[in-house]
Each structure stands twice: as structure tokens, then as C-alpha cells.
Copies of this chain bind each other. A is one copy, B any other.
């Protein structure tokens, strides 16, 4: 804090970053400690058996969880994050190379020293958690695929994109969070208001906040005005396409309709991370019963970021079609996109949210830091003993996991 105060005085450090660095702020240290205790309280993720098969008498196959190996975790300048991340790495039996935002370097060093001292009195190798403080070390590390198995960048969109572009090993995470909600023609107005307002205003800077609202043409003048009015009352700026703007201009009181903006095409590919929402109208083809939901799905798959998307509809069939068609980690029906979160999902803690197509996807708990291994135990068997005429046959008998 001493050097932060100096940097702040000379204008090198913003007040908001300085505030972040201050672990003495009310509750901050206790929260950090509680985070460690929460991880400690999770079930041991190592060695969980999820498949046992008898291949033959006395030849038993078992699949079980094991750590990935060496993680490179890159995170923002928040001193409390290193404690949480180190706990996750230790609990999952992975080794970790930690690289935090440079403004927190002094705090990271101090906390890292405490972690090392604590590891001394345990069976965990002291150097299984290593802090890198060298400036600009990231690019070099991203090339060491022979030593590092997975990169987990936590922080800005730019940081994640940089890692995805440069890394020679897999990257777990998400760059964009361009979430959408589609209001179908049978949507309940109160439900639509509740879900959209929460998705947009609960925490606009979050990756799971909604950025695009799709509205069926039939409810432009019934459901949408109530939603728009509630959003404007919360300070949200609406970027509307022509049909929605025309209808809202008629239905909203003058003081609200004056705040409407015209959407540009770019708005529908923008993650505002702010109190701004783009609105687009979805039209139906009367000859095709699923044309509207299909158009919404198509918009989301084309413009979205495969993170979290929601539909408001009274119809389970429509919701099912939406969930089957949208190519995202999380598909929600009649509830806020903000529920996409490891804590809210009941995972206890969260490594991050992944929009990857392989390995972990969606909110990633401790199990996202695990892979599996196969163990086979026999008493001298060879593959040549099996098959053919007169050879032994595999039994492939499923065994209980215990």
C-alpha cells in the first residue's frame, strides 16, 4: 500500500485500482480467508472412480479423476485472488504458475511467501505453486507446451483473446459474454420484465449480463413497452431497431421515448458491459410454426458468444427447441442470464466460465481442473490370448464403482 499510495499521488495509479489493492478494507481479508476455507471444505476431487469394468476374470479396468498437471493462471491485480487460486490448485493437486496483474506484485509476493511457508509443513511440494513477477513473462510462458498443460486467463477480454491467439496449449475461459434474451409471442409480461431487468441491471459489467433483446413482432406493443419502461427507469439506454423503436415511441411516455436510440448493425455484435441494451424484432412466417424461434436461434448463434442465452415463453416445446438449437454453454428458460455462475449453480467455487467446445464448458468448478486416467490390473494377461478361434472372450462386465 505504501508504494501504491506513492504511485497514486504521482498519478500513475487510479483511485479505483488503489482501492482494489487495499486488503485492510472492511471484510476484504475475512472474505479472502473464507474463500480458502470454502475450497478446503469441498470434496477431494482426486481419484474419483467413474467407471469400473471387468474385461475378463482378474482383469479389471478403472477410470478415475486425476489432476491435469501444470496450470498457468493469469489474473488481474486483485491481491485476494492469489489466495483463492492457490487454494484451488492445491486442492486439485495441480501445480500452478501464477502471474498476477503488476499493480498487486508486492501483495502477491507477501501472500505467496505465506503459501510457501504453509506448504513446508505439508506433503505438497513447496514449488508446486510458483509466482512469476517478471514483467512481460506471459508470451514466453504461452509457448512452453512441453511444461504447461492448460492456461486459465482471468481478466479482460483483451487478455483472454491474447492468450487464445498465442498459447501453444489449451486455454480455458471466455473472451466475450454477449448474452441474448428472446421474448416469444406467448411470453408473460411480468416474467419478461423481471428476467430482462435483472439480466441487464443486476451487474451490467458482468459477462453474464444481457446485451441483446430479441422481441417477437406480435408482442412489440404488449410485452415490450412494460419491459422498456422498467429498463429506462433503471437508467438503461435502449438501442432499438426500426419496428421496436416505432412501437415504443407510441407507447412510452414522452420523457422515456425521448431516450430511445436507433440501433446500428454493430450494436448486435457489441458487448456493452454497461447500462445499454440492443433490441431487435423477430418476425414470423405464418406458414412455418417454428420460424420465429428459429430466427431467434439463428440470430443468437450468429451474433452471440456461446456463453448464456435465455428465452421467455409459456411453451415447453418452444423452450426445448430454443435449448436444442442455441449453441451456447448455458440455455435458460424464463430466468435471468445472471444465474450463470459457479456459486449460484452450487459448485461452491468457480475457476471461471468457459465457452470452449471441449473440456469444461459453462461455469467451471473444481472438476474443470481434473482429467481422468485409466488403470488396468491383471495377472499376466496378453492381448493375443483373446479373440480368434479358441481364444478367450472379453466379459466387459460393468462393476459397481465402490
16 contacts between A and B (CB under 8 A): A150-B358, A172-B358, A195-B382, A199-B382, A323-B375, A330-B375, A333-B378, A334-B379, A335-B378, A339-B378, A339-B383, A344-B386, A346-B394, A361-B371, A362-B374, A363-B374
Most chain B CB inside 10 Å of its own CB: which residue of A333, A341, A361, A376: A376
Known: A357-B170, A358-B358. A195 touches B380 (CB 8 A): yes
Interface string of A327-361 (1 = CB under 8 A from B): 11111111110111100111000000000111101
Copies of this chain, count? 2
Most chain B CB inside 10 Å of its own CB: which residue of A346, A356, A394: A346
Interface string of A303-328 (1 = CB under 8 A from B): 00000000000000001000100011
Distance in angstroms between the alpha carbons of A353 and B390 in the assembled complex:
28
Interface string of A101-142 (1 = CB under 8 A from B): 000000000000000000000000000000000000000000
Contact B59 A383 (CB under 8 A): no
Closest B residue to A64 by CB, please name it. Answer: B323
Closest B residue to A150 by CB, please name it. Answer: B358
A143 contacts B by Cβ under 8 Å: no
A382 interface neighbour in B331, B338, B384, B394, Cβ under 8 Å: B338
A197 contacts B by Cβ under 8 Å: yes
A162 contacts B by Cβ under 8 Å: no
- Inter-chain contacts of A170 with B (CB < 8 A): 170, 356-358
Contact A378 B332 (CB under 8 A): yes
Q: Which of A11-19, A186-194, A288-296 contacts B (4 or more CB under 8 A)?
A: A186-194
Distance in angstroms between the alpha carbons of A63 and B372 in the assembled complex:
19
- Inter-chain contacts of A198 with B (CB < 8 A): 381-385
Q: Measuring CB to CB, which residues of chain A are less than 8 angstroms from any residue of chain B?
A: 53, 55, 59, 61, 63, 68-69, 149-150, 169-170, 172, 188, 190-191, 194-195, 197-199, 201-203, 319, 323, 327-336, 338-341, 344-346, 356-359, 361-363, 371-386, 394, 396
Closest B residue to A395 by CB, please name it. Answer: B346
CB distance from A324 to the nearest CB of B (A): 8
- Inter-chain contacts of A336 with B (CB < 8 A): 381-383
CB distance from A247 to the nearest CB of B (A): 23
Contact A373 B361 (CB under 8 A): yes
Contact B331 A374 (CB under 8 A): yes
- Inter-chain contacts of A61 with B (CB < 8 A): 345-346
- Inter-chain contacts of A362 with B (CB < 8 A): 63, 372-374
- Inter-chain contacts of A149 with B (CB < 8 A): 357-358
Contact B378 A329 (CB under 8 A): no
Contact B371 A357 (CB under 8 A): yes
A375 interface neighbour in B59, B63, B201, B333, Cβ under 8 Å: B333
- Inter-chain contacts of A379 with B (CB < 8 A): 191, 334-335
Most chain B CB inside 10 Å of its own CB: which residue of A194, A332, A374: A374
A334 interface neighbour in B334, B341, B377, B384, Cβ under 8 Å: B377
Other than the given A333-B376, A338-B382, A344-B383, 17 more pairs (CB < 8 A) read: A149-B357, A149-B358, A150-B357, A197-B382, A198-B383, A201-B384, A319-B377, A329-B374, A332-B377, A334-B379, A335-B377, A335-B380, A338-B383, A339-B376, A340-B376, A358-B358, A361-B373
- Inter-chain contacts of A55 with B (CB < 8 A): 339, 344-346
- Inter-chain contacts of A381 with B (CB < 8 A): 194-195, 198, 334-336, 339
